[in-house]
Structure 1
């Protein structure tokens, strides 16, 4: 009898994301079991409980998914899960807190593809401003872009203090430098946009971060992208389905949340399928998400 593909989904939050549950089942897992309110200290015990319940050759048919809304905590849980393996007992692990790893991967992959197509350049040395970097998607977006050699600025809507701490976290964990700047006024936001060639908006849904005037005032902007599909748009005038469409009164082009979301969906779905199809245990984080998103983005 063929073994069932089982996915154990853990989160420090009160609820597991229905989005992630649906994705996992649609991707082909036979059983999906959520564990809520999980602490970092509990990860090792849960993983080892899972690995020892099946013989070593069945480890590949068992997976751990790490959710939540904190990128740093998710990475700590991811590391703890990998360290909990006792070879030859190993299972697969996939971290994607709040869908942030796959969403960030999709946004950066779409931007990279558009830079190549429209402007014959890549991410390296491109000046990128990230709005919403204190959130989980913005945090991951900044990390991915910086690791690809972009000159990344993270903009704080409430001043420099919180984004300064985020910049320190990114430097400490990933060894890349991002620059925190104050974006607490319209003038300061406009200055951040004016110093950038790409603007990425990953702020809270339903909040307009950048006005059309802020984009129109700069001459160097090439691309503006937004992941917010809840009105109003995070970037005024950017259509939800924009996919390299010109932005009025600028030389820039835009990428809307539906274009990003299509790649995000395929990336998360694809990584779940890779877990199921693998012939040995795998471990997927944001870098793996970006590698797949690059293949998918058009």
Structure 2
């Protein structure tokens, strides 16, 4: 029986990136739908679960994509509400590539740090990738500072992380020109996950953080978020810290993305979100 992956994209045009990765992951058929909302998805879900027997449904899976993470999460909730009994298929959500990128970035950091004793700073921490980096790190025992130009937005993100990880040690942090010294004081890990072309710290500022052990920048568009880190850095020594650039993280991200799609077809009852995808990243 053929493996069918059904792509539900919240954008009007389904992501070509995600379609290519799906094909490279070995699916036999790929159905892609754009402009999918909680209001129009139900008949598409019924089409996925009523066309094969319960024993055969592991050969069908759903992938949620699109640039809007909140819209993707709403789709996931609607999908789960529509399933019943054995009539369900496995689902992976990776809106904006946030889960696979965050999982790969944190896995890179885990090679060099004990998260139970790690003080981490997430620059751009209220964005989709930064949010999930913070969530994964908190679940692994790290103390995490969620940095944003707006402390109110950082507070909202911290509350959202605590909703998923009740024991999370997360602290909102206003990141401004005047507050850089306080934000970086005592940290061991920086992950820059802000918008493309936004530089957070100069190389001199990074080098001045005496406690810093690992610096990760997931942005490949110049200028990068942490000056001195090249997109191709992969455990390179830069400004006194072990550093990873966007492509250094990206290799693991792509392996994780493909492995997660392959895992969807092992059973029909999986939900692959940030925590599950992080676990997969540790096995590729």
TM over 0.5, yes or no?
A: yes
Q: What is aligned with 1:188?
A: 179
CA-CA distance at 1:72 after TM superposition: 4.1
**Residue 86 of structure 1 is aligned with which of 77, 81, 84?**
84
**Residue 132 of structure 1 is aligned with which of 124, 133, 141?**
124
**Residue 271 of structure 2 is aligned with which of 279, 283, 294?**
283
- Residues 223-244 of structure 1, C-alpha deviations (whole Å, 9 max, x = no match): 1101111222211001222222
Listed as ranges, the gaps of 5+ residues in structure 1 are: 116-121
- Residues 99-135 of structure 1, C-alpha deviations (whole Å, 9 max, x = no match): 11011000000000122xxxxxx11131000011221
**Residue 13 of structure 1 is aligned with which of 1, 11, 14?**
11
Take 1:71 and 1:65, find their aligned partners in 2: how far apart are those partners?
13
RMSD of aligned residue pairs (Cα, Å): 1.8
CA-CA distance at 1:73 after TM superposition: 3.9
TM-score computed with the length of structure 1 as normaliser: 0.89
Listed as ranges, the gaps of 5+ residues in structure 2 are: none
Is the counterpart of residue 293 in structure 1 residue 281 in structure 2? Answer: yes
Take 1:127 and 1:27, find their aligned partners in 2: how far apart are those partners?
36
**Residue 268 of structure 1 is aligned with which of 227, 232, 257?**
257
Q: Which stretches of structure 1, 4 residues or longer, exceed 6 Å deviation after superposition?
A: none
Q: What is aligned with 2:65?
A: 67
Is the counterpart of residue 27 in structure 1 residue 25 in structure 2? Answer: yes
Q: What is aligned with 2:224?
A: 233
CA-CA distance at 1:222 after TM superposition: 0.9
CA-CA distance at 1:94 after TM superposition: 0.8
Take 2:34 and 2:268, find their aligned partners in 1: how far apart are those partners?
27
CA-CA distance at 1:59 after TM superposition: 0.8
Query: Where do residues 20-59 of structure 1 align in structure 2 (5 Å cutoff)?
Result: 20-59=18-57
TM-score computed with the length of structure 2 as normaliser: 0.93
Take 1:76 and 1:127, find their aligned partners in 2: how far apart are those partners?
32
Change beyond 3 A, Cα 1:146–1:279: closer
Take 2:169 and 2:37, find their aligned partners in 1: how far apart are those partners?
29
